[in-house]
Amino acid sequence: AFTPRVFSGIQPSGGLTLGNYLGALKRFVDSQDRGIQSIYCMVDLHAITVWQDPEKLSRATRELCAGFIASGIDPARSILFNQSQVPEHAQMAWVFNCVARMGWMKRMTQFKDKAGKNAENASLGLFAYPALMAADILCYHATHVPVGEDQKQHLELTRDIATKFNHDYGVEFFPLTEPVIEGAATRVMSLRDGSKKMSKSDPSDMSRINMTDDADTIASKIRKARTDPDALPSEAKGLEDRPEARNLVNIYAALADMTVAQVLADVGGKQFSEFKPMLADLAVEKLSPISGEMARLMEQPDEIDAILRRGSDQARAIATPILEQTYDIMGI
Ligand code: ADP
Ligand code: NA
């Protein structure tokens, strides 16, 4: 049996979005507060699978660390570090490149989405991304990974890699890690297109709420969010064919720590002209203390770097022996 341990990561490939906050960060704080050993990573090696400007990347990495802390991750209780500072991730990823099968990787929908029509011109790293993600998780024998719904397929691949490794070498060395995808906002959608997820890499800034947006920007993005002309239903099934409406209600529920049913019991029958300002007020109330704290932390970059350095030492203390045992099992 494996000791319960949580691992998760976020890419410093741009500023944090409300999707990252509700689908990931807020849930990371829940795991930490339940007292489970929690390891959180700025995954810069994932970010470079597509072009990153070096200066922007190092700033985004610090800002992401500030975002973790401002959201409630306590570096004294959780391990907070930057992926490239722990070389075991890249080393284990190579091992997993040799375990994973081409056919498995070709089925990954995120690669297809990100590579687009010109897949021949995508980096080899973008294709191999899920093997690095498996390494991130399995370097710590993590048993649980809180993530948004978009990562479900990658978690299945992580289990496939662990299963094949254990089977091929006749060991029970890697755990079969469980994704933890729960709450009202496991897939926050773009504010402009109810069929696309909100993402920090979407070219349209109006599609997302950034954690660093000020109150006016948040209110104006919510006011301009696409909706339909109908009033809000009083039960969840009334949202079934209304992706934009459902998205705004899900966001409200997650921000307010309520269920969708509870929210609709309160706001059912209201028009969006009335609901959107309520949502904007709630979003500003929850997000502005976080962005204020992020700005304060960003004025102390040395402090952030020191936290990340300490975190990488703590991470290596776990990952080094696991990589050594992996090599031993393989005879290398
Ligand atoms: P992004 O797509 O914004 O670059 P990442 O790939 O860095 O996000 O994902 C970081 C974490 O945030 C993952 O756990 C992912 O599932 C979660 N996440 C990203 N976008 C969303 C979203 N729109 N809704 C819910 N969770 C999300
Ligand atoms: Na992503």
CATH label of the domain that carries residue 253: 1.10.240.10
Q: Cα(129)–Cα(162) distance, rounded to whole angstroms? A: 16
pLDDT band at 36 (very low <50, low <70, confident <90, very high): very high
**Pair 58, 131 in one domain:** yes
Q: pLDDT by residue (tens digit) across 242-258? A: 999 999 999 999 999 99
Strand partners for 250: none
**Pair 149, 9 in one domain:** yes
**Pair 141, 174 in one domain:** yes
**Pair 111, 241 in one domain:** no
**Pair 13, 150 in one domain:** yes
Domain presence at residue 240: yes
Q: Cα(186)–Cα(269) distance, rounded to whole angstroms? A: 25
Count the Cβ atoms, other than its own, within 10 Å of residue 233: 18
**Pair 284, 324 in one domain:** no
Q: What total number of domains does the chain contain?
A: 2
Ligand 1 site: residues with CB under 6 angstroms? 8, 10-11, 13, 17, 19-20, 23-24, 147-148, 150-151, 185-188, 197-201
Q: pLDDT by residue (tens digit) across 37-82? A: 999 999 999 999 999 999 999 999 999 999 999 999 999 999 999 9
**Pair 89, 222 in one domain:** no
Domain presence at residue 198: no
What is residue 233's DSSP assignment? P
197 is catalytic: yes
* Residue 319 pLDDT > 90: yes
Domain presence at residue 109: yes
Q: Atom 19, ligand 1: which residue's CA is nearest?
A: 20
The domain of 238 spans 205-295
Q: Which residues contact 124 (CB under 8 A, 6 or more apart)?
A: none
**Pair 173, 319 in one domain:** yes
**Interface confidence (ipTM) of the complex:** 0.96
* Residue 201 pLDDT > 90: no
What 3-state DSSP class applies to 76?
coil
pLDDT band at 267 (very low <50, low <70, confident <90, very high): very high
**Pair 51, 148 in one domain:** yes
**Pair 224, 157 in one domain:** no
Q: pLDDT by residue (tens digit) across 129-169? A: 999 999 999 999 999 999 999 999 999 999 999 999 999 99
Residue 33 CA to ligand 1 center (angstroms) comes to 21
Q: What is the mean pLDDT of residues 191-215?
A: 94
What is residue 208's DSSP assignment? S
Atom number, ligand 1, closest to the C-alpha of residue 185? 25
Q: Cα(126)–Cα(124) distance, rounded to whole angstroms? A: 5
pLDDT band at 191 (very low <50, low <70, confident <90, very high): very high
Residue 196's Cβ-count burial label (10 Å; 0-12, 13-18, 19+) is: middle
**Pair 136, 153 in one domain:** yes
Domain presence at residue 119: yes
What 3-state DSSP class applies to 195?
coil
Domain presence at residue 187: no
Report pTM: 0.95
**Pair 231, 316 in one domain:** no
* Residue 1 pLDDT > 90: no
Q: What is the mean pLDDT of residues 274-297?
A: 97
* Confidence at residue 32, expressed as pLDDT on a 0 to 100 scale: 93
Residue 20 CA to ligand 2 center (angstroms) comes to 9
276 is catalytic: no
